Amino acid sequence: MGKISGNIKPTTKRYFTALAFLLFGFGIVLANNPSNEKNDEAVEQIAATASAIGLGQAPGQPAPAVQVEYESIFLTLAVMVGVLLLVVLLLIFISANLLSLIRVREGKDPLSLAATLKKTKEYALNPYIATLGNFVVIIIAMIFVVPIARGVGLSQGYQPEQPIWFSHKIHAGQYEVDCQYCHTGVAKGKNAWVPSVNVCMNCHKAIKQGSITGEKEISKIYYAYENNVPINWVRIHNLPDLAYFNHQQHVVAGKQECETCHGPIAEMDEVYQYAPLSMGWCINCHRETEVDAELYKKLGREDVHTVEDIGGLACARCHY
């Protein structure tokens, strides 16, 4: 710690410190565990490396690699903020000067920065006002920060543009193709799988003309199939790597409908993230969803009603 400057009294410092810590805390919350972001990256690199070194076409076929593209708009934002700040400062100075000129014309003392500051300081250093100010600042900050912080990292409504304009509304809605016809992994394990091109070709060998896009989109499947180029779908539902999620667990063991989490898929042309996929949302469902009590009776548990009763709220069900 450096030397203390004599001018500023403790209250101000507390005021400042509180503000600084709030901002600091805000920053931390926003940081949203950079460690885990890192972890994401680590795992993705694995997948990327796996595909890079051509790990196993057979018997180990290439893992469906999860590729990452970082699109940072930080620089643009920073420049914009800087310019705006400059404009604001400029305007403040101009208006202060004008105000001062008016006062001189009216025969009053010109506006001096030092005098204004002194006056403000007198008010601010009043212990009552300072304490009240502290509270107000904290409360306002909480009101704004908490909801924002809660929403950080969630992407409800995320609807990226896909490489192929594929409509679930047509496939799942109009033609009533069963979800598991394409997403075959749902009942088998952790991942639901985006269908491989050969699955598309089961139907599209015959169907070459789309009702909305004509040949434009369907030809992309043909291109992928004929040239052995995988399609880079954009992943919509992303859970952090610190959470383990298993489709089989929910669909087979838990007998959940796809729509519970994925929403009205059959009505979506382009899929968006329906659920918030936050932990609170998960937990809430675990509290409310009833399980097959008969099965548990068979296994000797009489008291089981909801997922919570079989430990659905325990941390290490998903985090390990």
Partner 1 sequence: MGKHEEYWNGLEQYNADSSFQKTQKDEFQEDLPMEDSLSEESLGLKSNRRDFLKIFGFGLTAAALTACVEKPVRKAVPYVNKPENVTPGRAEWYATTASIGAGIGILVKSREGRPIKVEGNRMHKLNKGGCDAIVEASLLNLYDSNRLKVSRGPSSKMMKWGAVDNEIMSKLESLGSGAKILLVGHSDSGLASKRLVQKFKAKYPGTKSITYDPVSNYALAKVHSDGGEYMQVPGYHFEKAKVIVGLDADFLGSWISPTEYTKGYAKGRKVSERNPTMSRHIHFEPRMSLTGSNADLRVPMKPAQLMAAIAGIHEGLIGGAITWKGPGNAVQRAVRELRKAGSGNSLVVCGVNDVHAQTVVKAINEILGNYGSTIDMDRPSYQVQGNDEHMVNFVAELSHADAVIFLDEANPVYDFREGTEVAKVLPKVGLSVAFVSKENETSKLCQYGLAQTHWLEEWGDAQPRKGYFGIRQPLVRPLYDSRSWQDTLMVWSGDNRRFYDLIREVWENEIYPRGAKQATFRSFWNDTVRDGFFEADVHGSAHATEGAHHAAQVPAEHAEDEEAAAAPDHASAGSPLPDPATSRAALLATYNKNKDTSEFVIYLSTTMGTGRYANNPWLQEYPDPITKVTWDNYICVPYVNAKQEGWSDGDIATLKVGGKSVDLPIIVQPGQAANTYAIKVGYGRGDIAGKVAKGVGKNVYPMVGVENGSFSYVSQGASVTPKGENIRMAKTQTFIGYELMSDGEGGDGKRKEIENRVGDYIVKETTLSAYRKSRVAGNKRPSGHHMLSLWNIHDKKGHHWAMAIDLNACTGCGSCIVSCNVENNIATVGREEVANRREMHWLRIDRYYKGDPADQEGKLEMVHQPMMCQQCDNAPCETVCPVLATVHSDEGLNQQVYNRCIGTRYCANNCPYKVRRFNWFSYYWNDDFKDVNVAQHDKIGRLVLNPDVTVRARGVMEKCSFCVQRIQDMKLKAKVEGRKLNDEDMKTACGQSCPADAVVFGDLNDTSSEIYKLYHNKRGYHALEDVKTLPSVLYLTKVRNRGEDESENPTT
- In the region spanning residues 245 to 274, those forming contacts with partner 1, defined by CB under 8 A, are 246-249, 252-253
- Which tokens go with 108? 């009053």
Q: Give me the least distance between CB of 107 and partner 1, in Å please.
A: 37
Provide the 3-class DSSP secondary structure of residue 289: coil
Q: Give me the least distance between CB of 109 and partner 1, in Å please.
A: 28
Matching residue, tokens 């993230």: 273
Residues binding partner 1: number (CB under 8 A)? 111
Question: Given candidates 27, 107, 147, 157, which one binds partner 1 under the rule CB under 8 A?
Answer: 27
CB closer to partner 1 out of 34 and 107: 34
Binding residues for partner 1 restricted to 43-72, rule: CB under 8 A? 43-46, 49-51, 53, 55-72
Q: Give me the least distance between CB of 167 and partner 1, in Å please.
A: 18
Give the CA angle between residues 241, 245, 250 to the nearest 5°. Answer: 170
Q: According to the binding rule CB under 8 A, does residue 108 interact with partner 1?
A: no
Question: Given candidates 144, 244, 290, 305, which one binds partner 1 under the rule CB under 8 A?
Answer: 244
Backbone angles phi, psi at 154, to 5 degrees: -95, 150
- Which tokens go with 20? 């600084």
CB closer to partner 1 out of 249 and 260: 249
CB closer to partner 1 out of 172 and 221: 221
If one counts every other C-beta atom within 10 angstroms of the C-beta of residue 286, the result is 21
Q: Give me the least distance between CB of 138 and partner 1, in Å please.
A: 15
Applying CB under 8 A, the span of 8-16, 100-108, 128-136, 261-269 interacting with partner 1 comes to 8-16
Q: According to the binding rule CB under 8 A, does residue 87 interact with partner 1?
A: no
Give the CA angle between residues 282, 288, 294 to the nearest 5°. Answer: 115
Provide the 3-class DSSP secondary structure of residue 254: coil
CB closer to partner 1 out of 39 and 100: 39
Binding residues for partner 1 restricted to 215-234, rule: CB under 8 A? 224-225, 228-234
Q: Give me the least distance between CB of 49 and partner 1, in Å please.
A: 5
Q: What is the C-alpha to C-alpha distance for residues 126 and 320, in angstroms, rounded to an integer?
A: 52
Binding residues for partner 1 restricted to 145-164, rule: CB under 8 A? 153, 155, 160
Residues 6+ apart with CB under 8 A from 138: 18, 22
Would you give the distance in Å from CA 182 to the centre of its chain?
27
Q: Distance from first CA to last CA of the chain, Å, rounded?
A: 41
If one counts every other C-beta atom within 10 angstroms of the C-beta of residue 81, the result is 10
